[in-house]
Each structure stands twice: as structure tokens, then as C-alpha cells.
Amino acid sequence: MSLKLGVPSKGRLMEKTFSWFDKRGITLSRTGSDREYAGRVDGIEGVSLVLLSAGEIPRELAAGRIHLGVTGTDLVHEKLPLWDQQLEEVAPLGFGQADLIIAVPACWADVDTLDDLDAAAAGFRARHGHRLRIATKYHRLVREFLTAAGVADYTLVDSQGATEGTVKNETAEAIADITSTGETLRANHLKILSDGLILRSQATLWRSRVAPMDAVEKSALDQFLQRLSQ
């Protein structure tokens, strides 16, 4: 069998991943029609390409169904609580940089820190009768971050997209989301808490610590890693 490399199946993340490997003499390409998720690897023996949604790559690595995979640090940390036991970081790829942050409406003149957020949440709950809602798709990371900071009286509400719009739509009072330039936040009249950085993320190549390997796959992995380190 061959070594399986999981790569995001579409968009800029896929293109940038392809070009990152290209610079190292490994050519990844999609085959068949535009709609078919099949691909090939040239320039190295014994490696096959698996095109997947970036969100599924952490799970596939942890289950050992792929040996290598490219996905964001944010997704790995969110989906795999014990990620460092299941995965090893091979190389940060230098693109897809984004920070997972907590942002609140810019008009909240009284809120600049987590400490303020906690006090605002207490006052909000007392006046409005429900907890202060924070919209996010990173439930585990945000909850652990807020628990460690001792923030109470909030609740997380799920938002899988257009999270910055939830405050104006009054489905949430604050958000926790990834941002690279902060432009979308500003356009939606939100500001980042000064101590509200949860995680710095970028596209990263990971190796599964649990995927079974035969001798052929092991030697393909050694060659692959050697090529990357050149």
C-alpha cells in the first residue's frame, strides 16, 4: 500500500498547499473532471493523494486512516483534545495564518479585557434575564479559554458562518472567530479584546502517530520527510 497524504479538496488552501509541495519537488494535482475528488502525486514514490474537507482532516489523522495531512492548527486543536498524543507537527506551511480571537461591539466603551467581559456578562444577565451569548464554531477552545480566565455568565451559541453578523442580528452579544486582517470585524463594528487572543493558527502539515505502516510505507515516509527537510 502507499502512504496517504490528505489535502484540502478545494479553494485557496488547496492551491497554496499544491504550490508549497511543488517548491519541494513534489507535484500534487487533481485528476479527472473538475468535480471529481481524485488526485495524483508525482516526483516521489509510494505516496497517494486523498482530497478531503479541511475540517475532516484532523479526524482522519487521529483515526489513522491517513498518514499525513494538511489543515489548520485551529481545527486540530478544536477537534482533538489530545492532539499532541495523536499527531505530530511536521512543518508549518507559512500560509492560512489566522488568529482565533474574542470580539465585542466597538460601541462597548466599557469593555477592553476578559475581566471587563466577565463583569459585562454578569450585568447583562441581571438585566436581560439570560446569559451573554458568544457566537462561535470553536466551542471547545473558546470554553477552555474562558474557563481558564474565570469568565462566567456566558453561553456559547453555534455559528458555522457569517459569525461577525450575529451581533447586529441580535442572535449573540459577542463572537469568537478566526480573523487574519481584522477587516471583516471592523466592517461589522466589532473590536478584539486586548487579551482576547485564543490561538494563532496557520496551515500545517501533520503526521499521524497512530496510522499503521508497513515497511514500504515506512520507507516512503522517510523519503518524504527527507525531501521536505532539504
Partner 1 sequence: MITRARILEQAAQLRARFEAAGAQTVETPILQPAETLLDLYGEDIRARAYITSDALRGEQMLRPDFTVPVVQKHMEHGAEPARYTYAGEVFRRQEHDPDRANEYIQVGYEVFDRTNPAAADAEVFALIAQALDGLALRAATGDIGILMAAVAGLKTTEPRKAALMRHIWRPRRFRALLDRYAGRTPVPPARAALLAADDPLTGGAPEIGKRDRADVEARIAVLRADAAAAPISDNEIAGLDALLSVRETMPFALEHLRDIAVDLPQINPALDRLEARIAALRARGIDVDRLDFEASYGRTSMEYYDGFVFGFYAERRPDLPPIATGGRYDALTRRLGNGAEIPAVGGVLRPGLMLLLAEAET
DSSP alpha helix (H) spans, 23-169: 57-62, 73-79, 83-86, 114-128, 139-149
Minimum separation from the CB atom of position 42 to partner 1 (A): 40
**124: amino acid identity, one letter:** F
Applying CB under 8 A, among 44, 51, 90, 149 the residue interacting with partner 1 is: 149
Of the residues 34, 127, 226, 230, which one makes contact with partner 1 according to CB under 8 A: 127
CB 14 within 8 A of CB 52: no
By CB under 8 A, residue 11 contacts partner 1: no
- We find the least distance from the C-beta atom of residue 66 to partner 1, in angstroms, to be 22
Residue written as grid cell 486586548: 194
User: Which amino acid, 42?
Assistant: D
β-pairing, 68-72 vs 27-31, is unpaired
> Would you state the cell numbers that stand for residue 186, as one nine-digit string?
471592523
Q: Is 19 in the site for partner 1 (CB under 8 A)?
A: no
Smallest gap from residue 8 Cβ to partner 1 (A):
26
Binding of partner 1 by 129 (CB under 8 A)? no
Q: At its nearest, how many Å lie between partner 1 and the CB of residue 110?
A: 4
Q: Which residues pair with 102 in a beta bridge?
A: 176
Residue type, 104: V
Stretch (H or E) spanning 107: none
Told to check if 143 binds partner 1 by CB under 8 A, we report yes
Q: Note the residues at the interface with partner 1 (CB under 8 A).
A: 81-82, 105-113, 115-116, 118-120, 122-124, 127-128, 131-132, 139-140, 143-144, 146-147, 149-156, 167-168, 170, 173, 189, 191, 194
